[in-house]
Structure formats: C-alpha cells, structure tokens
C-alpha cells in the first residue's frame, strides 16, 4: 500500500489513515487513487467487515490539493474528470465505511467524509466548503450531499460564504452522527465498527444500500451538473487568482472574469 494511506487492523475492522501531514492531508490524485485502491481491496477481503477512514488530529483533510489544481485549464479538468473516477469508486464500496473526523474537514475533505456512510467526529472537528474563496465551487458532491445532510438553507450559507462549522453545529445540523472528545475518537470509531462487524454482513450490506437509496434519487444528475460547473470555473481568471493568492499567502482580489 502507498505511504499516502496508512492501515492497521483491529480484528475485523480496517482503519485507513490519510497521510500527507505536510499539507493537512490535502487530497491529490495519488492519494485519491491509493485510497480508492485500498477500499476496493478491503471490499474484496473477507477478513474485513467494516472500514474506518480517518486523518490526523489536526486535519481529516483540508481539501483537494490547491497546488496540484492551480495551473489546470478547463480542458484539463474536464478531460481528466479530476477525482470523478476515484469518488465513484469510493461510493461503490459495499462494506460499511465510517469517517472518523478530527480537525479540519474542508472542501474535498468534507466531500470525502460525506462519501462515507456516516461521520463520527471529535469535538475539535471543523467542517466547511470553502471553495468559493478560491473562485471555484465544490466538485466532489459538496453541493449535493451537504444539502441533503443539513438542508438547503445551511448548505447554501456554507457554500456561498465558505464559513466553517464546529462539531456541535455539525451534530445539531445532522451532518455527523455523534461528537466525542478528541482523545476518544479512534477508540469510539473502532468500537462502533466492531459492533457493525458483529452483525450479519448481508444484512449490513442490504441496510447500507437501502439507506443510500433514500439519498440517491436524482443524485447522479446533481453530481454531474456540479462537476461540470466545477470544471468550467477553471476557464476563469478568478480561479487562477483565488488559488495563486492562497499559495502566496496574500489577500485575494477577484475580478469577476
């Protein structure tokens, strides 16, 4: 397995840990490919009955990697379908997948957590879709899954302002199933996963499909629309300026072009 994803087993529970500490686990293509491969392998491995996906204490993931995306054109992101195949592969996993979130969970990181079946978080967790600050929009399901999770008003506010919500607000809004003290997060996630692992794997798989079904009517349409809008924004100067300003650590100056 790639060193971008660390793994450990706790009986029937596999823990996968995003491992790019130098960039707050920002998601680049290599990491997303490694994660999709690790999850596909877990899905095929009869010894694994539940998976926990986590990051570091400081960040689950602070978004897609701005440095990797910065210079891309519309033609590139559209042709590459950036993260599209990897996100689809993660969504296809049939075994239960729990996100254990501590610290920043932003942009593509929040979208990745929402791709999991449910989110347990530490009291330090902070969720947000700050893409608008970079002159882009969410591209891996944020506008669709966040809206389904917390309702239109809060999702719209989050996506339009880029503000973060803390763990307590995320629990009140229904984005996360539970908040626990940071020191207990992994023990609680593994304990929850172990509970699930003790059930009938067939019933668990059927239950996951049934609950997901409730979310997915017309979701594919929304996801494709969102992805194409995301790609199109790489044709704007504001995307170049937004990402350049982030990397240069200077205030952003959008020109609406």
- Evaluate whether 8 touches 45 at the Cβ level (below 8 Å): no
For the bound state, the minimum distance from the C-beta of residue 47 to ligand CO8, rounded and expressed in Å, comes to 31
For the bound state, the minimum distance from the C-beta of residue 14 to ligand CO8, rounded and expressed in Å, comes to 25
- Region for 107 from its dihedrals, namely left if φ exceeds 0, alpha if ψ lies in -120 to 50, beta otherwise: left
Pairing outcome for strands 118-122 and 59-61: unpaired
Q: Does 108 qualify as catalytic in the annotation?
A: yes
Interaction residues for ligand CO8, span 3-62 (CB under 6 A): 23-24, 26, 62
Quick check: 83 binds ligand CO8 (CB under 6 A)? yes
For the bound state, the minimum distance from the C-beta of residue 23 to ligand CO8, rounded and expressed in Å, comes to 4
What are the C-alpha distances in Å from 98 to residues 37, 57, 72, 225?
A: 17, 16, 32, 27
Distance of CA 87 to the CA centre of its chain: 9
166 vs 191: CA distance, rounded Å: 24
For residue 41 the two structure tokens come to: 């392998």
Q: Does 241 qualify as catalytic in the annotation?
A: no
Q: Residue from 53, 93, 134, 196 that binds ligand CO8 (CB under 6 A)?
A: 134
Q: Does 157 qualify as catalytic in the annotation?
A: no
Of the candidate spans 36-44, 81-89, 169-177, 232-240, the one that interacts with ligand CO8 by CB under 6 A turns out to be 81-89
For the bound state, the minimum distance from the C-beta of residue 198 to ligand CO8, rounded and expressed in Å, comes to 35
Size (the chain), residues: 257
242 vs 248: CA distance, rounded Å: 10
Interaction residues for ligand CO8, span 95-114 (CB under 6 A): 104, 106-108
Q: Residue from 35, 52, 115, 140 that binds ligand CO8 (CB under 6 A)?
A: 140
Judged by CB under 6 A, the number of residues near ligand CO8 is: 25
- Just list the catalytic residues: 64, 108, 111, 131
């Amino acid at each position: 397995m790639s060193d971008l994803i660390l793994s450990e087993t706790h009986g029937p529970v596999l823990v996968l840990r995003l491992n790019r500490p130098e960039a707050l686990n920002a998601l680049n293509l290599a990491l997303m490919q490694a994660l999709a491969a690790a999850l596909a392998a877990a899905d095929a491995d009869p010894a694994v009955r539940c998976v926990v996906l986590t990051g570091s204490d400081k960040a689950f993931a602070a978004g897609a990697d701005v440095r990797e995306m910065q210079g891309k054109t519309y033609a590139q992101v559209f042709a590459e379908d950036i993260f599209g195949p990897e996100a689809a592969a993660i969504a296809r996993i049939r075994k239960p997948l729990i996100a254990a979130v501590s610290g920043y969970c932003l942009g593509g990181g929040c979208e990745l957590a929402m791709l999991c079946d449910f989110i347990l978080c530490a009291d330090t967790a902070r969720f947000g879709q700050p893409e608008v600050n970079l002159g882009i929009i969410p591209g891996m399901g944020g506008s669709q899954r966040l809206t389904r999770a917390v309702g239109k008003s809060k999702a719209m506010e989050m996506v339009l302002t880029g503000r973060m919500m803390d763990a307590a607000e995320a629990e009140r809004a229904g984005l996360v199933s539970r908040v626990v003290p940071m020191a207990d997060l992994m023990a609680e996630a593994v304990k929850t996963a172990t509970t699930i692992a003790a059930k009938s794997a067939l019933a668990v798989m059927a239950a996951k499909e049934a609950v997901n079904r409730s979310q997915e009517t017309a979701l594919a349409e929304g996801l494709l629309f969102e992805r194409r809008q995301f790609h199109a924004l790489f044709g704007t100067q504001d995307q170049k300026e937004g990402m350049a300003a982030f990397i240069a650590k200077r205030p952003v100056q959008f020109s609406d072009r």
